[in-house]
Structure 1
Amino acid sequence: MQEYYFANYRLLTDDEISEHESMKRLADFVKPMPYTHTFTLHYGDVGELEEKRTWALSYPMVYETEYFTIHDTGDGWAFVNTLADELRLAEGARNVVLASRDYGELTVWVTERFFDIERNGHVLHTRPSIPLSSSIRAACEAGMVMRDGLPLHASLVEKDGFGVIFLGPSGMGKSTQAKLWEKYLGADFLIGDRPGLRKIDGKWCGFGMPWDGKDAIYRQTSVPVRALVWLEQAKENRIVPMNPVQAMGVMLKQAMMPVWDDMAMDGATALMGVLAEELPMYHLRCLPDEAAARLIYDTICKR
C-alpha cells in the first residue's frame, strides 16, 4: 500500500487507486509526518460495482451534491457518483465509494469507462478528476471532523512563522487576499481553497491538504494560526475584532460539515465552540489592494 500524510492524518491506499489520475495530487503528500489517525482506501473489484451500486441506492439518500449522492447504509455510508449519469457521453461510467460509519475504512469501485472518460477529458473538461476524488475527499473530510479536525472553505498563508486564514463565501476574495500577502508582504500562499485546522499540542494549526479549488495551490505543510479573517468587499478598508458568538456563526458557514451525520456534527459544533473562544477572528471590509493586506498584518502583529 501507499502512504500519504495530511493534517497529521495518515492515508493508506491500495497501489491501483494511487496510480489513478484522480489521485495524482497525493503524490505531493508522501513526506511522513506525525499522525493521530489512519484512513484506509481500498480498490474494489469492478465486477462487483453494479451490485454495490444497486445495493447503495436501495438505502435512504441523506445528502446530494452536484457530483454524488450520500446514502445511510446503517453501518456505514455510500457515496454514489451522479455526474456521469447526467452526461450522455458518459454512459456506462460508474463509481461508488463505501465508507465505514466513522469514515476510517473506504473502498472505491470504479469502471474502466470512467477512467477512459477522465483520460480523454471530453466530458468533464477542465476538472476531470472531480467525480472520483470529490467523493473520497468528502469522506475524508467527514472523517477529519470525527477526529478533531475542521476542513474549511478558506485560504491559508504563512508569514513570519505564523498562519492567517481568510474566510468568506465563494468569490469574496479569499485567494485574492492570499495573493496580496504573497506579493506585498512576502508571505507563502499555502493552500487556496480547503485548508485543514486542528488543535495540536495546545496550538491551533493550519494545514495544506491534497484537495483544492480553482487555484490548484496546495502544500503538505502546517503552521500555527494566529488569526482568522472574515472577508467582505467594501469601498474602503476597515477591520474590527469579532466576539466568540460572531466567530461561531462564521465557522458554521465556512467549515465543510458532514451535515448528513448527526454524531459528526455534534462533535464539530463543540470543537468550533472551543475555537471561537481561543482563536481571534476579525471582520475585514476591504478593497483588493496592498493597504488591506498591510492593515490585517499590522492588526495581527499588535496582539
Structure 2
Amino acid sequence: MYIYRIAEMNIAVKARYEETYRYMADFLTDSEEYELLIEPTDEMIRYEAELGEEIHGDSGSPYICEAVAILREICDYIIDKSGFFLHCSCLKYKEEAIIFTAPSGTGKSTHAALWRRHFGDEVTMINDDKPLVREKYGRFIIYGTPWNGKHGIGENTCAPVRAIVFLSQAPENHAAPINPVEAITLLLQQTVLPSDKAHLSKLLDMLGRMVETIPMIRLGCTISDEAVTTVYREIYDDHQ
C-alpha cells in the first residue's frame, strides 16, 4: 500500500499492478495518514477494460484499467469534498489557472502547447487530461493529478482558476463570453460524472457557482500565435 497526496487529500492505494504505483509516483507522500483507501478489485478492472473496448475499441493494459478504476472511486468521494474531475488541458500563468476544454480531438493540448511556446517559462502545465477542481477558500482551485494524458504532461501543483475556455476549430480566431446556462451544459459534457443522483445534484450546484464566478469564454481558433493573443485579450480585458 502507498499513500498519495492528490488535491489536498491523502489517498491510500492497494494496487494489483506495480505499474500502477509507478503511474502515480509523482504524487507519493511520506505521510502515514489517509482519508480514503482504494483497493481495486478484478471486477472493477474488468469493467474498465470492457468500457474501453466499447468506447475506444481497445481495452487498454491492465494497469491503465486499474488506474482508471482508482480515478472512478475518487470521483464519487471527491463530490462530498466539493470537487470533481474535468476533462481538459490546464496551465498556470501569472499564478492563476487557465482551463481549455472541448471534446477529444479538438485541440486542447495543441492550444496549451501554443501558450507554452508563446510565453515560455511563464507557463507551467498543471495537467493535460483529467485534473481535479475543488471549491476551496472561496475560490475554485484546479489541481494536477496522475491522470495527465498519454503524453504525461503535468505537475503536482495547483492554482486558482482564472478562466475557462471552450475551444472549437475555426478558419479565423475569435473569442467571446458565453452565458452560464450554455457553459454548464458544455462543462457537464467534459466532467467525469458521479454514479448516483445525490452526487450529481451536488455537482450541478458546484457548476452553477462556478459559471457565475469565473469567466466562461468560447474560442474559435486556428493553430497560431494569434489564437493565443485573441483569447489572452478576452481573459485579461486587453482589447487595445
Measured in 2, the distance between the counterparts of 1:285 and 1:265 equals 30
- Which residue of structure 2 aligns with residue 137 of structure 1? 71
Q: Are the counterparts in 1 of residues 6 and 27 from structure 2 also a CA contact under 8 Å?
A: yes
Match of 2:24, SS state, is helix
Measured in 2, the distance between the counterparts of 1:22 and 1:283 equals 36
Match of 2:151, SS state, is coil
Inter-CA distance 135–177: structure 2 relative to 1 (3 Å threshold): same
- Which residue of structure 2 aligns with residue 27 of structure 1? 25
Amino acid at match of 1:41: I
How far does residue 293 in structure 1 lie from its aligned partner after superposition? 0.9
* Bigger Cα displacement from structure 2, 4-13 vs 268-277: 4-13
Per-residue Cα deviation, 1:154-192 (whole angstroms, up to 9, x for no partner): 011111111100010000111011100011122122211
- Of the three residues 238, 243, 265, the one matched with 2:200 is 265
Structure 1's unaligned 5+ residue stretches are: 57-66, 70-79, 87-122
Q: Are the counterparts in 2 of residues 5 and 32 from structure 1 also a CA contact under 8 Å?
A: no
- Structure with max Cα Rg: 1
Measured in 2, the distance between the counterparts of 1:212 and 1:178 equals 13
- Which residue of structure 2 aligns with residue 221 of structure 1? 157
- Of the three residues 22, 30, 39, the one matched with 2:36 is 39
Inter-CA distance 266–128: structure 2 relative to 1 (3 Å threshold): same
- Which residue of structure 1 aligns with residue 237 of structure 2? 302
Per-residue Cα deviation, 1:206-234 (whole angstroms, up to 9, x for no partner): 11011132221132110111000000100
Match of 1:21, SS state, is helix
- Which residue of structure 1 aligns with residue 181 of structure 2? 245
Q: Report the TM-score, using the length of structure 2 for normalisation.
A: 0.86
Q: Report the TM-score, using the length of structure 1 for normalisation.
A: 0.69
Measured in 2, the distance between the counterparts of 1:233 and 1:85 equals 28
Measured in 2, the distance between the counterparts of 1:295 and 1:81 equals 41
Q: What is the correspondence of 1:62-211 to structure 2 with a 5 Å cutoff?
A: 68-69=46-47, 82=50, 127=61, 129-186=63-120, 187-211=123-147
Q: Are the counterparts in 2 of residues 156 and 191 from structure 1 also a CA contact under 8 Å?
A: yes
Measured in 1, the distance between the counterparts of 2:117 and 2:49 equals 40
Measured in 2, the distance between the counterparts of 1:174 and 1:276 equals 20
Amino acid at match of 1:278: T
Q: Are the counterparts in 1 of residues 127 and 155 from structure 2 also a CA contact under 8 Å?
A: yes
Measured in 1, the distance between the counterparts of 2:105 and 2:30 equals 34
Inter-CA distance 83–228: structure 2 relative to 1 (3 Å threshold): closer
* Bigger Cα displacement from structure 2, 159-168 vs 216-225: 216-225
Paired residues, what number? 232
Structure 2's unaligned 5+ residue stretches are: none
How far does residue 84 in structure 1 lie from its aligned partner after superposition? 10
